[in-house]
């Protein structure tokens, strides 16, 4: 029988890892952003180092999760870093809560690409407390930022790249309302989500407000059942609509994840799903994925859905996640906390298949129809925001890295010149040409499972393999190979 197997050795990839970064006190990570070098910037807070109580902690790691540099920023009070993004000049902008500058409760910090402080501003509207530590930031395509926060109300402000306020709006409900994430949408407008006790049914409902680039409200709606609903995050998805995530008490006495797909054009509900695993499940972040699906983070759980509302996979993860992002090459990255040293920053990188053997395990929630009632509301009024320039203290902490899971290194350094082990195509498998008398060879599936282990002799070694993608390691040499 003629074998049609053809194999090629290809370069790719980045390691999967789950790591903690911390010191003796508490390091809580709140979110993570990809950086132009393929790595990540993680923001949160620490009380191990800094100017007093908690300070912002910014940790820069490589694509493989290797710690590159760290800084703290803050004053003598509590300073909680919430979100970070890389700016168009390759620096960083961070936002969070501050208690260090009385009367001004949102802190925005701009640094260089190496974390050097460039400017910092604190913001408030008087007499309201503006941003609690649930404030969120998002980069705007004009180089500026949009910021939301509130303590009993939802405030949205558009800032220039230098932190000057361009406009600010208040979602003016009569009762308590609280913001979750804000995003810029592909039309240059913005969407802010949160929860409201001013409208809707029962104790609270999701609130979603779609704004034009100038902050005028295009539509606003509430969504919910007879119990509480709280939205925490939103993502624009591949078909131009949005997915809003949070939690609900409508379907069970305990919290369930609630996922709503909502029309970008008018806010009508497209579908809803709720997930229960018998305990309190609360989705806290969502991202659109490179393969046109969505991934949803719920503390110790990560799940992926298609845009029709089907659950594709759900996993238990080894860190308590708060923030979810995409790597520059499409993997999923979760930031949160882990506990090797009291409480540390935790960071997990996993592929779009959710497979990371020995690190993530299957989790099977009950899936329910989460379609809930929805109604339009009328909101939006201009407000005045004031800011002051502040100078946070900056420190360089020493953090320890701990592996929570054994990293799966799928990276390839194809140093053909001088390579002592080379993988090349043969019919029905792979061949390895080794110049070393004897060396151990391990072959893994892409999800990190060991599928072959043996020794290479000096010279050519042939291994019969079925079709598929294999990761291989022989001593210091490694690569990825496809058997077709």
Can you give the binding site for Ca ion, defined by CB under 5 A?
22, 27, 51-53, 55, 74, 79, 201-202, 205, 224, 229, 252, 254, 256, 276, 281, 341-342, 344
Q: What are the structure tokens assigned to 331, written together?
A: 């993997």
Nearer to Ca ion, 13 or 392 (CB): 392
Nearer to Ca ion, 184 or 205 (CB): 205
**Beta strands per DSSP E along 277-384:** 285-288, 294-305, 311-326, 332-338, 344-350, 361-362, 366-369, 373-376, 381-382
CB of 417 to Ca ion, least distance (A): 44
Maximum pairwise Cα distance, the chain: 82
Q: Is the dihedral of CA 304, 309, 311, 315 positive or negative?
A: positive
Distance of CA 271 to the CA centre of its chain: 23
CB of 444 to Ca ion, least distance (A): 32
Q: Give CA–CA dist 395/75, Å, rounded.
A: 11
Complete DSSP assignment for 359-406:
T-EE--PEEEE---EEEE----EE---EEEE---EEE----EEEEEEE
Nearer to Ca ion, 252 or 326 (CB): 252
CB of 51 to Ca ion, least distance (A): 5
Q: Which residues of 403-425 are buried (b: 16+ CB within 10 A; e: fewer)?
A: ebbebbbbbbeeeeeeeebbbeb
Q: What is the DSSP letter of 343?
A: B
Nearer to Ca ion, 28 or 158 (CB): 28
Q: What is the DSSP letter of 263?
A: -
Nearer to Ca ion, 35 or 83 (CB): 83
**Which residue(s) pair with 285 in the sheet?**
297
Nearer to Ca ion, 195 or 470 (CB): 195
C-alpha to C-alpha distances, 373 to 34, 229, 244, nearest whole angstrom? 36, 11, 15
At a CB cut-off of 8 Å and minimum separation 6, what does 38 contact?
A: 14, 62, 63, 327, 328, 329
CB of 175 to Ca ion, least distance (A): 13
Q: Give CA–CA dist 478/472, Å, rounded.
A: 5
Q: Give CA–CA dist 431/460, Å, rounded.
A: 7
Residue number with the smallest Cβ distance to Ca ion: 224
CB of 155 to Ca ion, least distance (A): 23
Helix (H) or strand (E) holding 424: strand 421-426
Nearer to Ca ion, 249 or 446 (CB): 249
Nearer to Ca ion, 67 or 469 (CB): 67
CB of 258 to Ca ion, least distance (A): 10
CB of 365 to Ca ion, least distance (A): 8
- Residue 455 has a CB neighbour count (10 Å cut-off) of 11
CB of 5 to Ca ion, least distance (A): 48
CB of 131 to Ca ion, least distance (A): 16
Nearer to Ca ion, 216 or 268 (CB): 268
Nearer to Ca ion, 9 or 274 (CB): 274
Nearer to Ca ion, 276 or 331 (CB): 276
CB of 127 to Ca ion, least distance (A): 24
Q: Which residues of 63-99 are buried (b: 16+ CB within 10 A; e: fewer)?
A: bbbebeebbbbbbebbbbbbbbbbbeeebbbbbbbbb
Q: Give CA–CA dist 314/81, Å, rounded.
A: 29
CB of 75 to Ca ion, least distance (A): 5
């Amino acid at each position: 029988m003629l074998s049609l197997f053809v194999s090629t050795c290809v370069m790719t990839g980045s390691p999967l890892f789950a790591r903690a970064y911390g010191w003796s006190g508490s390091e809580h990570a709140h979110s993570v952003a990809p950086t132009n070098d393929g790595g990540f910037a993680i923001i949160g807070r620490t009380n191990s180092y800094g100017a007093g109580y908690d300070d912002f902690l910014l940790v820069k790691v490589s694509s493989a999760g290797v710690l590159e540099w760290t800084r703290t920023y803050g004053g003598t009070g509590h300073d909680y870093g919430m979100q970070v993004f890389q700016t168009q000049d390759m620096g960083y902008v961070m936002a969070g809560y501050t208690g260090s500058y009385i009367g001004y409760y949102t802190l925005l910090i701009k640094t260089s690409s190496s974390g050097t402080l460039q400017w910092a501003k604190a913001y408030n509207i008087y007499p309201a407390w503006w941003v609690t530590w649930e404030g969120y930031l998002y980069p705007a395509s004009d180089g500026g930022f949009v910021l939301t926060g509130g303590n009993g109300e939802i405030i949205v402000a558009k800032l220039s790249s230098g932190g000057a306020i361009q406009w600010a709006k208040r979602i003016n409900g009569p009762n308590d309302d609280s913001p979750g994430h804000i995003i810029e949408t592909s039309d240059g407008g913005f969407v802010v989500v949160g929860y409201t006790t001013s409208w809707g049914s029962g104790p609270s409902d999701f609130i979603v407000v779609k704004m034009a680039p100038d902050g005028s409200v295009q539509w606003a709606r509430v969504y919910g059942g007879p119990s509480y609903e709280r939205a925490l995050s939103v993502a624009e998805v591949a078909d131009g609509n949005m997915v809003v995530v949070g939690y609900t008490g409508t379907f069970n006495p305990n919290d369930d994840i609630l996922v709503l797909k909502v029309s970008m054009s008018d806010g009508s509900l497209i579908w809803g799903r709720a997930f229960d695993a018998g305990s309190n499940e609360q989705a806290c972040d969502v991202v659109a994925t490179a393969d046109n699906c969505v991934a949803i983070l719920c503390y110790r759980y990560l799940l992926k859905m298609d845009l029709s509302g089907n659950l594709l996979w759900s996993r238990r993860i080894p860190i308590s996640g708060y923030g979810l992002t995409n790597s520059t090459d499409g993997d999923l990255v979760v930031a949160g906390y882990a506990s090797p040293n009291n409480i540390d920053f935790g960071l997990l990188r996993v592929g779009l298949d959710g497979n990371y053997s020995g690190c993530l395990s299957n989790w099977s929630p009950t899936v329910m129809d989460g379609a809930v009632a929805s109604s339009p509301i009328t909101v939006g009024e201009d407000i005045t925001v004031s800011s002051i320039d502040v100078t946070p203290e900056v420190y360089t902490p020493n953090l320890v890295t701990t592996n929570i899971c054994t990293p799966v290194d799928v990276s390839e350094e194809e140093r053909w010149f001088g390579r002592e082990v080379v993988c090349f195509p043969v019919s029905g498998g792979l061949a390895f040409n080794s110049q070393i008398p004897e060396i151990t060879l391990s072959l893994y599936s892409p999800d990190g499972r060991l599928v072959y282990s043996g020794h290479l002799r000096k010279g050519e070694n042939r291994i019969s393999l079925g079709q598929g993608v294999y990761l291989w390691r022989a001593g210091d040499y490694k690569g990825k190979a496809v058997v077709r």
